[in-house]
Amino acid sequence: MKSSGAPSDDVDRIVADWARELPETDVSPLHVLSRVTRLARRLDLTRGDVFARHQLEGWEFDVLSALRRAGRPYQLSPGQLVTETLVTSGTMTNRVDRLERRGLVRRSPAPSDRRGVLVRLTAAGRTAVDAALADLLAHEHVLLQPLSPTECEHLAGLLRRLGSPLQD
């Protein structure tokens, strides 16, 4: 599956080893999915470094960015945050508690539901997430430089199609 002239990488070696050991087995999915997995791991580590420069954990960035993307007044219910960040409600409660102690979010009663709560991004939270996002995007633009804008668009479409069945 390796294209002629393309540089070899660690996945090529792994696939070749498996093909040698299990010649009767089609190991071709490893060419794509092992690269996706390894790339995801490396990106997680890199993103962690970027967030650490802003005194944030990855999960903190996820919650703060969900609130920031919501638009003014930068607030969501805990249930909406659960949906946006793909964690359980118990995990979200713990995360909001920790972010509130740091002054990055504030809870307030939901005006339409006496028992409901809204989580709102504070000015400090907005400053933190905006700075971390700017740093992250600058870094990720550099990572994508080997690809043309057309290639990036094509790759994004392929990954969207590949990930679509896994959405729910």
CA gap 81, 96 in Å, rounded: 10
Please, what is the Cα angle at 83 between 77 and 89, to 5 degrees? Answer: 70
Predicted confidence (pLDDT) at residue 115 exceeds the cutoff of 90:
no
Mean local confidence (pLDDT), 65-90? 95
Predicted confidence (pLDDT) at residue 9 exceeds the cutoff of 80:
yes
CA gap 117, 53 in Å, rounded: 31
Mean local confidence (pLDDT), 115-122? 94
Q: How far is CA 32 from CA 58, 65, 127, 140, in A?
A: 26, 30, 38, 21
In one letter, which amino acid is 33?
Answer: L
Predicted confidence (pLDDT) at residue 17 exceeds the cutoff of 90:
yes
Tens digit of each residue's pLDDT (9 = 90 or more) over 37-70:
999 999 999 999 999 999 999 999 999 999 999 9
pLDDT on residue 2: 53
Residue limits of CATH 1.10.10.10 in the chain = 56-135
pLDDT on residue 168: 64
Predicted confidence (pLDDT) at residue 113 exceeds the cutoff of 70:
yes
Please, what is the Cα angle at 25 between 24 and 31, to 5 degrees? Answer: 135
Report which of 27, 34, 91, 31 is spatially closest to residue 63, judged by C-alpha positions: 91
**Fold of domain 56-135:** Arc Repressor Mutant, subunit A (1.10.10)
More reliable by pLDDT, 83 or 111 = 83
Phi, psi values for residue 72, rounded to 5°: -55, 135
